[in-house]
Amino acid sequence: MKKSKLTTDQGVPITDNQNSLTIGNRGPVLLQDVQFIEKMAHFDRERIPERVVHAKGTGAHGYFQVYKSMALYTKAKFLQDPAKKTPIFIRFSTVTGGRGSADTVRDPRGFAVKFYTEDGNYDLVGNNLPVFFIRDAIKFPDMVHAFKGAPDSNMPSSASSHDSFWDFISLTPESTHMITWLFSDRGTPRSYRMQEGFGVNTYVWVNLRGKAIYVKYHWKPKLGVRTLDRHEATRLAGTDPDFLTRDLHDAIAKGGKVEYELKVQLMNIADELKQDFDPLDPTKTWPENKFPLMPVGKMILDRNPDNFFTEVEQAAFCPASLVPGIEFSADKLLQGRTFSYADTQRHRLGANYLQLTVNKPLAPVDNNQRDGAMQTRHFSGPVNYEPNTLSGGMPAEAAEEGKPHTYKLEGEVVKQKIKLTNDFAQAGERYRTLGKNDQEHMVDNLVADLTPISRQIQKRVIENLTTADAQLGRLVAKGLKL
């Protein structure tokens, strides 16, 4: 082991790290003990705000590789060359619990991938379930308030079985489809290595000719999908609250390669109004028989972080981090997400959070943004504006091919729900596509969660479940003795 000397943060040698500086050996302590003050003041600031959602998580490094060029559909450079490996960082998480909560509670799981591409960073910030609870971002703060601990008691710290969760859900019919995923055993995955991932929102791919097409993302685990049942998940939450974190860490530490395949569904934009659902509605899936899954490439996770704080806690993913060739759709949930993430990260990590190692693009960064708290870059010269001649017009705007595609939009300025909501059909279909055992588990999971909930809320939940599927509603009502 290399010899090293203990110093203060100023690099001054420390000769005694056991005793504070006192008058006599019984105290009091002197204010001039700058070594003590620096050490304690630093310790006092070791925690940063936890993520407002997805606070408990774990990460891994790896790479992504396409099977063949996607040039027909997108000009995104990292999706062109099968010989190229694009480095990635992934963070898996639960959603509702705080930083120290258990891994195996019923909850969606975050599945966030950062691709360090030659055109800058691309983040695909998804979940392990294909749909979401709501379709308009303006409801997100209400939803999260209802899901997390109540403002008076702070309970529960991570679980859905409480009145406010079910109160909100029962008043939000579009959440019924998500409930049929969350309350199947998919809500308690056996391993981060054995769960699917979904982009959930609809994005737009654009090729070099400017042709745009809607795209939805799916990650398929090489090991297949495996889940825990309610009893096992509950037991593990007590005996090993870090069960999923440990599973991923140990698999990679043993030299295992964790693999997922990326697939996409594509839809011609001209066909968007021809469906029995709105393709920009994130509470809906696209039927796979009509929009088949097309394999795109593979992602391999092969390296654990060696510093949790700098790599995992400081990681900042954002659905607005897109690269040329990938664009936003008008999906109202996605539009709201594009603001929220970087906004929390400026608060959680600070103005220059994109300079932190895990967030810093491998692609060169050059612009006239300067200064700010914790600036680490050293700029020289008199020019920090554009256009300029004093530094030869540099940095100059990039080539035309990076430009987003142009399109027309017209309509009235309104605050209105989408017309085609069709909130129960896919929820019912989801229940009916499950095998008998999985259906029984869903009913059992729902009954267990709803048992302590007030009668009035239970009734509203049953109404929604019944509209989705009469049998599902009847069996849950029976389980609740309603």
| Catalytic residue list | 54, 127
Instruction: Find the binder of ligand HEM among 62, 97, 120, 126 (CB under 6 A).
Output: 126
State yes or no: residue 89 binds ligand HEM (CB under 6 A).
no
Nearer to ligand HEM, 356 or 447 (CB): 356
Q: Is 57 in the site for ligand HEM (CB under 6 A)?
A: yes
Q: Which is nearer to ligand HEM, 216 or 441 (CB)?
A: 216
Buried b (16+ CB within 10 A) or exposed e, 6-43: eeeeeeeeeeeeeeeeeeeeeeeeeeeeebbeebeeee
Which x/- pattern over 403-422 shows residues binding ligand HEM (rule: CB under 6 A)?
--------------------
Spatial CB neighbours of 253, under 8 Å, sequence gap ≥ 6: 304
Note whether 316 binds ligand HEM by CB under 6 A.
yes
* Shortest reach from residue 50's CB to ligand HEM, in Å: 8
Rounded to the nearest whole angstrom, what is the least distance from the CB of residue 439 to ligand HEM in the complex?
A: 26
Residue 423 in tokens:
């909130």
Tell me if residue 472 falls in helix, strand or coil.
helix
Closer residue to ligand HEM in complex, CB, 315/472: 315
Is residue 96 a contact point for ligand HEM (CB under 6 A)? no
Taking CB under 6 A as the binding criterion, the range among 36-44, 124-132, 301-309, 467-475 that sits at the site for ligand HEM is 124-132
User: In this structure, what token pair is assigned to residue 350?
Assistant: 């600070």
Among residues 75, 148, 337, 441, the one that binds ligand HEM under rule CB under 6 A? 337
The reply on whether position 215 binds ligand HEM by CB under 6 A is no
* Six token digits for residue 340: 């929220």
Query: In angstroms, what is the minimal distance from the CB of 326 to ligand HEM?
Result: 15
The closest alpha carbon to 104, from 194, 253, 230, 224, belongs to 230
98: how many CB neighbours lie within 10 A of its CB?
15
What's the min distance (Å) between Cβ of 158 and ligand HEM? 15
The 8 Å CB, 24+ separation contacts for 333-339 are 333/132, 333/134, 333/135, 333/136, 333/137, 333/140, 333/201, 333/282, 334/201, 334/202, 334/203, 334/282, 335/137, 336/136, 336/137, 336/138, 336/140, 337/125, 337/137, 337/201
> Does residue 182 belong to the site contacting ligand HEM (CB under 6 A)?
no
Rule CB under 6 A: say whether 475 interacts with ligand HEM.
Answer: no
- Dihedral pair phi/psi, residue 69, rounded to 5°: -60, 140
Taking CB atoms, the residue at the shortest distance from ligand HEM is 110
Confirm or reject binding of residue 345 to ligand HEM (CB under 6 A): yes
Asked if 216 touches ligand HEM (CB under 6 A), the answer is no
Size of the site for ligand HEM (CB under 6 A): 28
Residue 344 CA to residue 207 CA, distance in Å, equals: 32
CB of 104 vs ligand HEM, minimal distance in Å: 18
Q: Is the Cβ–Cβ distance between 260 and 299 less than 8 Å?
A: yes
Q: How far is the CB of 333 from ligand HEM (least distance, A)?
A: 5
What is the DSSP-derived secondary structure letter of residue 29? B
Q: Which of these ranges, 62-70, 99-107, 339-347, 401-409, lies near ligand HEM under the rule CB under 6 A?
A: 339-347
Binding of ligand HEM by 94 (CB under 6 A): no
- Distance (Å, whole) CA 426 – CA 179: 11
Taking the complex as a whole, how short is the minimal distance between the CB of residue 27 and ligand HEM, in angstroms?
A: 42
Reading the block at residue 174, the tokens are 């579009």
**Contact flag: residue 340 with ligand HEM (CB under 6 A):** yes
Which part of the chain contacts ligand HEM (CB under 6 A), choosing from 2-10, 132-140, 272-280, 430-438? 132-140
Residue of 233, 315, 358, 446 interacting with ligand HEM (CB under 6 A): 315
Number of other residues whose CB lies within 10 A of the CB of residue 354: 18
Distance of alpha carbon 390 from alpha carbon 66, whole angstroms: 42
Question: Which of 35, 74, 86, 93: binder of ligand HEM (CB under 6 A)?
Answer: 93
Strand, helix or coil for residue 229: coil
79: phi then psi, degrees, rounded to nearest 5: -110, 25
Of the pair 102, 143, the CB lying nearest ligand HEM is at 143
* Binding site residues, ligand HEM, CB under 6 A: 51-54, 57, 91, 93, 110, 112, 125-127, 132, 137, 140, 200, 282, 315-317, 333, 336-337, 340-341, 344-345, 348
